[in-house]
Structure 1
Amino acid sequence: MSLARVAAAAGRSAALPLVLSVSAIDLDATHGTGDTDRIGFHDEVVLPVASTAKLLLLAEIARRLDTGELHGDRTVDVLPEDHAGGTGLLGRLGRTGWTVEDLCWLTASVSDNTATNVLLRLVGRDATARLAERLTLRDLTLHDSVRDVRGPGVPPVFATGTARDLAHLVAHAARGTMVSAGASARLLRWMRANTDHALVPALVAHDPYASDFPAPTPGALLIANKTGTDTGVRADVGVLIGTRRLVYAVVAHWDTALGASTERAAVHALRDVGRTLADCAMPPGHV
């Protein structure tokens, strides 16, 4: 099934009062068969991408763990200025010291905002910018730490980027070319632990706990992803692995003054794209 179906699914959002940006890459496309290896739908539009940009931070940590610049068992203290509300567990737990690996698992699995801030303080935003440049991710940028309130004098959003850049970051990991094979595999393992499957994977038959990732048993579909939720933003980026490996990034952005109905429409649009991606990765009836 052609990725053109994914672009068509994205196009069904055209009448909605929102921007939907979609990028998909078929890692197993065979040129000369008529298949295309990637599609984009408004995928170069720079938008707020919320917590999906935490993947860039995790990629830099994975790179440093692979080179030995950082050690996974190093303990880092959580400082008062690191604390942020919203998603996460650290603000509800009693310990103040956590290993680097602990913080990465928390960031990837429950999008822990406090853990994110600790890791960002540890490596610095400049390091994430250098990695983005190295991977030719021109528009994916972490602007600030995660904050409960954004007032004057601070960036208006945590991060911005394009669906194209987010998809290419995950494609690097899936191909093993995100700096190194070891760093790539580590990032995918962290993504596999994500607990939020309410967007792109919501209507997709898959086992989020199957232990055979990234090589599913015949007839099975596996997903590793990272979501992002913020005011007027829903985003999801990841990889579906079935008979084909499809990398995707979907970002929806809208004016919150339009009310809850637009938010519901955005979530529906992401799920519709997800269902189409799954049909491409695992055609119905294929075993």
Structure 2
Amino acid sequence: MADVSYLVVDADTGEELASHEPDRVLRTASVAKVLVLSALARALEAGEVGSEEVLSRTVAPPVADSGLWHRMAVAELPVGDVALLVGAVSDNWATNVLVARLGLDAVNAFGLQHTALHDVVRDHRGPGDPPTLSTGTAREWVGVLVALHRRTWVSAAVSERVLGWLAAGVDHSLVASAFGLGGLDPLVGDAGLVNKTGTDSDVRCDIGLVTGSSRVAAYAGLGNGDPVDLVPRLRALGDRVRVLVGPG
């Protein structure tokens, strides 16, 4: 049986617009890559990582599936481009390179109680590895999104960097499928939507900020179970959010 948790709030006022078990801790797959991008943005603003620094993918073992770097010939990229790969296509190898550079402790140093990245991305997860990539709650993720919208996620500069990387995201297949992007080139960033999805064999999640005529909504829809059940339920949540924010 599929488990779905969600929360939708007005990102300006904090008013709760829709919810279902928002404090339930679920597996969230790549959604926690937002924490990796946040840790990098914080390190860049603090001068702990240089904006001109070049990172080599050889510091982390190759990992396939999500992303493009494992298909590319170039083995080194500027740190900002590595982050862009994560934000745009949820690149697994780029994620692991950033975790190697920053450390997992820094990635999880945002004061969240139930939301964390537990490991690097692995092609195969063995008995000695953490059982899942990440876990989290809809309430904590909406809190992160509200802070990003208000430019208080660490600082205004950190918030701007993270939002900029996420704005390049191309996966609008879940909650975001409802937000009127069907007639647009999915590779062109939309100023009215910033989101991050997480997908595994039995995980479908989507968190984001969407701007309509009535309000800006922060949403988190987290699902564990059979994707045949999860995908339509998350898309239905998107339909509900679309009504709540008004036409874009």
- Give the corresponding residue for 2:228: 264
Q: Please report the TM-score for the alignment, with normalisation by the length of structure 1.
A: 0.80
How much has 1:250 moved relative to structure 2? Answer: 0.4
Closer/same/farther in 2, CA of residues 211 and 112 from structure 1, 3 Å limit: closer
RMSD (Å), alpha carbons: 1.8
Alignment partner for residue 247 of structure 1, among 214, 218, 223?
Answer: 218
Query: How far apart are the structure 1 equivalents of 2:156 and 2:190?
Result: 18
Assess if the C-alpha contact under 8 Å between 1:65 and 1:71 holds in 2.
yes
Q: What is the one-letter code of the residue matched to 2:30?
A: S
Within 2, Cα distance between the matches of 1:45 and 1:73? 40
Secondary structure of 2:232's partner? helix
1:236 deviation in Å? 0.4
Bigger Cα displacement from structure 2, 100-109 vs 37-46: 37-46
Residue in 1 aligned with 2:165?
190
The residue type paired with residue 100 of structure 2 is R
Which residue does 1:121 correspond to in 2? 100
Counterparts in 2 of 1:210 and 1:76: CA distance versus 1, 3 Å: closer
For residue 181 of structure 1, what is the aligned residue in structure 2? 156
Rounded Cα–Cα distance in structure 1 between residues aligned with 2:193 and 2:239: 12
- Tell me which moved more, 94-103 or 21-30: 21-30
Q: Which has the larger radius of gyration?
A: 1
SS in 2 for 1:250: strand
Give 1:81 shift: 3.5
Change (3 A) 1:182 1:269: same
Instruction: Provide the C-alpha distance between the structure 1 equivalents of 2:133 and 2:244, rounded to a whole number of angstroms.
Output: 33
1:146-225 equivalent positions in 2, closer than 5 A = 146-206=121-181, 213=191, 222-225=192-195
Partner of 1:27: 11
Q: Which residue is equivalent to 1:48?
A: 27
Task: Give structure 2 stretches of 5+ with no counterpart.
Answer: none
Matched residue type, 1:67: A
Out of 275, 278, 282, the position equivalent to 2:239 is: 275
Report the 3-state secondary structure (helix = DSSP H, G, I; strand = E; otherwise coil) of the residue aligned with 1:82: coil
Given that 2:168 and 2:189 are in contact with CA atoms closer than 8 Å, whether structure 1 keeps it comes out as no
1:68 Cα shift? 2.1
User: What is the CA–CA distance in structure 1 between the aligned matches of 2:117 and 2:123, rounded to whole Å?
Assistant: 16
- Aligned residue for 1:79, secondary structure, equals helix
1:75 alignment partner AA: V
2:119 to 139, 144, 147: 144
Counterpart code for 2:232 = H
CA–CA distance in 1 between the matches of 2:16 and 2:118? 31
Give the equivalent residue in structure 2 for 1:219: none
Per-residue Cα deviation, 1:64-106 (whole angstroms, up to 9, x for no partner): 2222222222101111633211111111111111111011000
Displacement after TM superposition at 1:201 (Å): 1.4
Q: Is the 8 A contact 2:12 2:150 kept in 1?
A: no
Distance 1:83 1:130 in 2: 26
Question: Which residue of 2 is the match for residue 227 of structure 1?
Answer: 197
**Aligned mate of 2:89, from 103, 106, 110:** 110
Residue 211 (structure 2) pairs with residue 236 (structure 1) = no
| Structure 2 length-normalised TM | 0.92
Aligned partner of 2:36 in structure 1 is: 57
How many residues align structurally? 244
What fraction of aligned residue pairs are identical, expressed as a percent?
A: 36
2:59–2:97 contact (8 Å) kept in structure 1: no
Matched position secondary structure for 2:217: strand
